[in-house]
Amino acid sequence: MEQKSLWNKDFLLDTGINFVVYLIYYLLMVIIAVVAKDQLNASLSEAGLASGIFIVGTLLARLQFGKAIELYTRRRTLYGGILFYLITTLLYFYIPNLTVMYIIRLLNGLAYGIVSTATNTIISACIPADKRGEGINYYGLSTSLAAAIGPFLGMFLMLITDFRFIIGLCTVLVIACAVGCVFLHVDEIELSEEERAYMKAISVDNYVERRVMTISFIGFLMGFAYSSVLTFLASYAREIHLVQAGTFFFVVYAVVITVTRPLTGIIFDRKGENYVLYPCYLCLAAGLFLLYATGTAWQLLLAGVFVGLGYGTFMSNGQAVCIKLTPPHRVSVALSTYFVALDLGLGVGPYVLGMLHRMLTFPQLYAVAGVIAIVCFFLYYGLYGRRSVKAVRVVPATAQK
C-alpha cells in the first residue's frame, strides 16, 4: 500500500485557505481599535470592545459548527462559511458609528468561526497518521504566519493608505479563498445512525470535548496574554516613539516561527508534547517582560523573537495535542473546544486590559500578561504535563470515506 505524502494537493490547498482566512482576521484585529479611536472617537475600552466582540461571533460559530459540521458535511460548511465571510467583509465599507461597527465585527467573527472550524477539521484527514505532529505543525505555521504577517501588513497599510483600501484588499483575498475551495477534495466522516442521533441530541458533550479541557483552558490564558500584543502594540509603539520597530515586530515573529516550526513538529512526534510546550510558556513570558522593560528598537524586536517562540509555537502544538487525545469522529468537537478557549482569551483580553489601562500603564499591562504566561507553565505541569506520555497515539483513519 502506497504511503500517503504529507505534501499532497489537499493539504496545501486547505493550509493556503486557512492562511488567508487567518491573515484577514489578524490584519483587521490589529487596526480596528485604531480605526475606532481615530475615525469614530472611541475610548480605549470601546476600541478594545470593537476588537474583541469579533470573538463573540467566532465562539458562537465554533460551538455550533464544532458539533454539527459532520452533520452538515464539511464541504457545505466550508462553502457556506466562505460566502458569509465575503458578505460580512464587504459590510466594512459602511461603518457610520460604533454600533454598526460592533454588529459588523460580530457577524464577521461568526463567518470567520465557521470557515476556520471547517479548515481545521478538514486538515485532519489530509495528514498521514504517522506524521500527525509534523503535519499539524506545518499546517499551524499557516496560522502563526498569518498572526505575524497580518498585523504587520495592517500596520504598514495604515501608514500608506486608508481603511477602505484595506477592506478592498481583504475582499479580493476572500474571493481567492472561494476559488481555492472549488479545487479542494474534502473527506467526510461516515457517521453511523447511532453517532448521528447522538450528535443531534442536545448535550454538553456535543459542544465540549472533555478530553481537551485542560489544554483548552491553558489556551485561553495564553490567548489572553497574547492579546496584549495583538491589540495594543500599535498604540504602545506610538507612545514610546518606536512605530517603525513596532511594525517590524511581527516580521521578526514570522521569521522565528517559520524557522523553528519544522523542528518543533519533529520534536513533538519523537519526544512528546512536553518538550515543546514547557519552553513555550517561558518564552512568551520572556517576550512580555521584555515589552514591559523596552525602551529601544532592538529590545522591542527581541521581544518579537520570544513571543514568536512562545505563542506562535503553542498555537499549533496545542492543536496537535487535541488531535492526539481524541478519536476521529470527535476531532471537530475537540478542535472547537480548543479554539473557542483560545479565541475567548483573545476576545476577553482586549476589553479587560483596556479597562485595566485606566489604572495601569502599557508597560504594566505587559507585566501582568507576563505573569499570566508564567501561571500557564505551572498549570500545565500540574494538570497535564507530569502525566502525559511520550508516545503519540496514532489515530486510525478507517472512518474516513
Return the amino acid letter for 380: Y
**pLDDT tier at 399, thresholds 50, 70, 90:** very low
Question: Considering the chain, what percentage of its residues have pLDDT values greater than 70?
Answer: 93
Is the pTM here over 0.85, yes or no? no
Spatial distance between the Cα atoms of 1 and 241, rounded to a whole number of angstroms? 60
Contact 354, 45 (CB under 8 A): yes
- The Cα-based distances of 167 to 57, 104, 154, 205 in angstroms read 19, 13, 10, 38
Share of the chain above pLDDT 90, in %: 41
Residues 15-21 have a mean pLDDT of 94
Read off the pLDDT of residues 165-224 as tens digits, 9 standing for 90 and up: 999 999 999 999 999 999 998 877 776 677 677 666 667 777 788 899 999 999 999 999
Grid cell for residue 143: 496560522
Cell of 277: 510546550
| Other residues' Cβ atoms within 10 Å of the Cβ of residue 391 | 9
User: Residue 4: what pLDDT?
Assistant: 66
Query: CB atoms < 10 A from the CB of 66, how many?
Result: 27
Task: Say what the pLDDT of residue 400 is.
Answer: 37
Q: In the prediction, which pLDDT does 47 show?
A: 83
Q: Which of 42, 46, 369 is nearest to 227 (CA)?
A: 369
Domains of the chain: 9-387 (1.20.1250.20)
120 beta partners: none
CA dihedral angle for residue 381, residue 382, residue 385, residue 388, rounded to 10 degrees: 170
- Segment 327-348 mean pLDDT: 83
Task: Give the other-Cβ count within 10 Å of 389's Cβ.
Answer: 10
pLDDT for the residue 2: 52
Per DSSP, 399 falls in state T
316: nearest Cα among 143, 146, 140: 140
Write the pLDDT tens digit of every residue in 215-242.
999 999 999 999 999 888 888 998 998 9
Spatial distance between the Cα atoms of 106 and 104, rounded to a whole number of angstroms:
5
Instruction: Tell me the pLDDT tens digit for each residue of 75-109.
Output: 899 999 999 999 999 999 999 999 999 999 999 99
Please, what is the average pLDDT of the chain?
Answer: 86
Average pLDDT over residues 250-258: 86
